[in-house]
Structure 1
């Protein structure tokens, strides 16, 4: 009886362990996954240029992972590393480095992907890098939204991101439009993904996506600046200079406001801020032409020291420091006064008892 009791306990213990293991496996399967490829296609197409990261170097070539396709494995054959004679593989390619490569062959059944580095032209490499950077930004936003709301990443890609790739060519272009009109992009995505997409895109998930997009993609205004010398020695020259400055500032628009400040006579600085660099440069050039036209009509002169250009925060800081220094130099030194100068110039002379100029 004791043996039967022990057997029964061991059997029940095994059954409980089996149930616990099954429950854990079921729980792990229900957890959302936060790994997914960037594009809807599982494998790249032949002749497509993709971005890879080198994992290891062997006698046959270099083993890499395709960064845009969920890090699936690929191989750059030794003969496809360079057009020239290979003397040292380590000089051509290094472990950990990211490289643009061309797809030669794809065997989906066996999972073999053969790649080439030597067939990628400089233009293809630049285009691949630009595309990868945009896709990486889209992937970062999508993954962050999935992790924040505990949503499966591939489900979010199916419901939202991949439909925007189909509609706009690249989802990054659609994400930029979502800064001003987010609901339009959600509607476009649901038109393609259907009811499953609408069910996945809950209000919480939508809010997380929009919040991250606005944080990462809201454009920062550029600062545009130009330096000029402005002089007018004609009658009422100061007034003519003021009129010329007003003419330049009158070129301002609602988006770009032109400001002209005196740095130190005769040097003036024109500044504006804009999101569109080309429009800002054109506007500041027009403002310079307006100032020049106004001052020359009154026999004045304008010389462009430095034309319109985009400047950094460091340049702006140097400008502020220079303006503060020049302003300090123009201030009167403490202790100076006209009375002191007058007294020093006259000296201690007794005017009443002094000899006349004729006597001298």
Structure 2
């Protein structure tokens, strides 16, 4: 940290030490003869210790299989000596439920801390001062500052404007006077809102389902196109549905939404509409993969698959013009003209 700059070191919570029987997130720093020395990540890296006897309920065959330098994980607080600063911890006493709750809390706290630290740095204010005036009051009022930050994304005034703090001054008559001041200056408010919106604005999820669809009737291609249109018509403004041909008879349905359950329900509705239409013409639809969230990696793999199939089709078409393809019941679907390519 540059000389004269703000102090950016501070615990995440108002309490200087964790409570006994509380699960906390630690990072292992060193393994000694008696146990492991660790840093409590939520409490400004104060030191704690896990005795080897508190590593596992079972017989320890290898310490390295249970704990390693650099590892980050939840443990249980056994004892806290506030005078001497000793904190004894246990890995073997932390339950699966404790682990889940600790990880959820820590991930939220880490995001809040990152935002607060950046705001303190850019506005040249000590991080602890920012926590005293803004962060910890929000923890007290909302249970976790993360919940308040979520509201700030859309309604910052409701959360930030009521925050105040008191200062005591000596008046002209020598009497002590208490003044109530706004905790959030315009500069801090602007920095907070910008950082929170940049880091916490929810990103839409991509939901996808894979189906196989066939129709061997005369004009089967047209019936498949009609079924695809029915699927897209099942979408809404919040959950638009798109359907693409990968390679006959494989298709993918996709939608993007902030609400995972809504997206899955919409795609299921689209599959039902598509099934009813194709079966009306004695076709068949089979769900290969039910609606689920997909990542950018999944999208990339799908694009690569479609590109490879497209190249293979081009090479096949260049070699010969086989009329046997007419027997598939699919033909060459003009997906682009039907509005199914992005």
TM-score tier (shorter): 0.7 to 0.9
Contact 1:107–1:113 at 8 Å: present in 2 too? Answer: yes
| Structure 1 segment 326-345 matched on structure 2, within 5 A | 326-328=309-311, 329=313
1:118 paired residue among 58, 74, 92? 92
| C-alpha contact 1:159 1:197 (8 A) present in aligned 2 | no
Structure 2's unaligned 5+ residue stretches are 168-178, 322-342
Following superposition of structure 1 onto structure 2, how do residues 40-51 of structure 1 map, counting pairs within 5 Å? 40-51=14-25
Counterpart of 2:297 (choices 314, 320, 336) is 314
Counterpart among 101, 118, 121 of residue 147 in structure 1: 121
Match for residue 135 of structure 2?
161
The structural deviation recorded for 1:257 is 0.7
The Cα of 1:38 is off from its aligned counterpart by 0.4
Provide the C-alpha distance between the structure 2 equivalents of 1:101 and 1:186, rounded to a whole number of angstroms. 34
What TM-score do you get using the length of structure 2 for normalisation? 0.80
**1:220-239 residue pairs with structure 2 within 5 A?**
220-239=203-222
- Report matched runs for 1:1-16 at 5 Å: none
> What is the distance in 1 between the residues matched to 2:210 and 2:180?
54
Seen in structure 2, the aligned counterparts of structure 1 residues 236 and 136 have a Cα distance that, compared at 3 Å, is same
1:181 is the counterpart of 2:155:
yes
Instruction: Decide whether aligned partners of structure 1 residues 85 and 320 sit closer, same or farther in structure 2, where only a CA change above 3 A counts.
Output: closer
Alignment-derived partner of residue 352 in structure 1: none
Q: Is the 8 A contact 2:27 2:72 kept in 1?
A: yes
- Cα deviation, residue 235, structure 1: 4.6
Deviation larger for 283-292 or 123-132? 123-132
Judging changes above 3 Å, is the alpha-carbon distance between structure 1 residues 146 and 242 closer, same or farther for their aligned structure 2 residues? same
Q: What is the Cα deviation at residue 99 of structure 1?
A: 3.2
Distance 2:166 2:268 in 1: 50
For the structure 1 residues 103 and 260, does the alpha-carbon distance in structure 2 shift closer, same or farther, using more than 3 Å as the test?
same
Greater strand content: 2
Tell me the alpha carbon deviations over residues 322-341 of structure 1, each in whole angstroms, 9 at most, x when there is no partner: 4344445259967999xxxx
Name the stretch that deviates more: 210-219 or 153-162: 210-219
1:107 to 42, 67, 81: 81
Deviations 1:74-104 (A, max 9, x none): 2223432322334554443233322322112
Q: Could you tell me how far apart the structure 1 residues matched to 2:300 and 2:278 are?
A: 30
Distance 1:197 1:314, change over 3 A: farther
Secondary structure at the residue paired with 1:109? coil
Please state how far the C-alpha of 1:236 moved relative to its aligned partner.
4.2
Q: What CA distance in whole angstroms lies between the structure 1 residues aligned with 2:218 and 2:44?
A: 74
Kindly state the Cα deviation for residue 148 of structure 1 after the two structures are TM-superposed: 0.7
Larger-Rg structure: 1
Classify 1:243/1:154 alpha carbon distance in 2 versus 1 (closer, same or farther; 3 Å): same
Instruction: Tell me the residue number matched to 1:243.
Output: 226
Work out the CA distance in 1 between the residues paired with 2:5 and 2:214. Answer: 73
Structure 1 residues 59 and 317, CA gap change in structure 2 (3 angstroms) = closer
> Aligned with 2:161: secondary structure?
helix
